[in-house]
Amino acid sequence: MKYKCLLFLIIICSSNSFAQVEAGKTGAWYMYFFNHQFKESQFGIQGDIQYRNWNLGGDLEQLLIRTGVTYTPKNSKVLLTLGYGNITTGEFGDGNATSVESRIYQEVLMPQQLGKRIYLTHRFRYEQRFVEDQDFRTRYRYNLFLNVPFNNSALEKGALYAALYNELFVNGQKDIGDGREVEFFDRNRTYLGLGYVLKEGMRFQLGWMNQKTDTVGKAQLQLSFHHKF
């Protein structure tokens, strides 16, 4: 019963966030995530490529390319990552101006299972950001992922599942240079979607994410492919 209550509360919170977003502001993110563990080694690689649009396609919001080296301690399911990302951000509307960010990050991924069908993952990420025309910045992120399969007790071939997450971003400092400031609260993302496991190491997700900053809320359609090889 407590697991059903947890799922119900997350869905209610997500629905409240979606209701605040104007339909005309919907964007789209198309994403590829990969993860590879080297044979007979505790090391591996992971990363993602994301093409983000202010609309459903054509008006670039961001192109994000990120990868890192992973390490799994012995007798543990924890995944540690040291990585780098390059982000090109476009302006809203007809303009073609862009800005570039280089980002170094450290990450801890901790999976957890509750009962037979509740799969949680905690992700802690610390970022060092080199944003064009801004001073050096840092940011802290925490994401709680929740996957609940419908037709199977495990996330294996043929499983259809509910996918939910909530991620909080906190800036490490307010001053970004030239007298400009940001708030310590950077943004919050709430996501609700459906996933399908095509086969071991391959799954797809289609969902709806609401991103809120201290000034604006925006809805995003998300289509993602998750590849472990």
User: Which long-range contacts link 82-87 to residues 24+ away (Cβ below 8 Å)?
Assistant: 82/106, 83/46, 83/47, 83/107, 87/62, 87/63
Mean pLDDT of the 45-71 span: 95
| Residue-level pLDDT at 36 | 97
Q: What pLDDT digit, counting tens, does each position of 156-209 carry?
A: 999 999 999 999 999 999 999 999 999 999 999 999 999 999 999 999 999 999
Model pTM?
A: 0.86
Per residue in 160-172, pLDDT (tens digit) is 999 999 999 999 9
Residue 154 to residue 23: CA distance in whole angstroms? 35
Dist CA 23 CA 36 (whole Å): 38
Q: Which of 112, 121, 118, 117 is nearest to 153 (CA)?
A: 117
Look at residue 10 in the predicted model and tell me its pLDDT: 45
Residue with the larger pLDDT of the pair 5 and 127: 127
Give the span between the Cα atoms of 191 and 27, in whole angstroms. Answer: 14
- The whole-chain average pLDDT of the chain stands at 90
Q: Is the pLDDT of residue 29 over 80?
A: yes
User: Measured between alpha carbons, how far is 95 from 131 in angstroms, rounded to an integer?
Assistant: 20
Structure-model confidence comparison of residues 8 and 137, the more confident one:
137
SS3 state of residue 142: strand
pLDDT of 151 strictly over 50: yes
Tell me how many domains the chain contains.
Answer: 1
The predicted pLDDT at position 44 comes to: 98
Domain that holds residue 73: 2-228
Residues in the chain: 229
Question: What CATH number corresponds to the domain at position 99?
Answer: 2.40.160.40
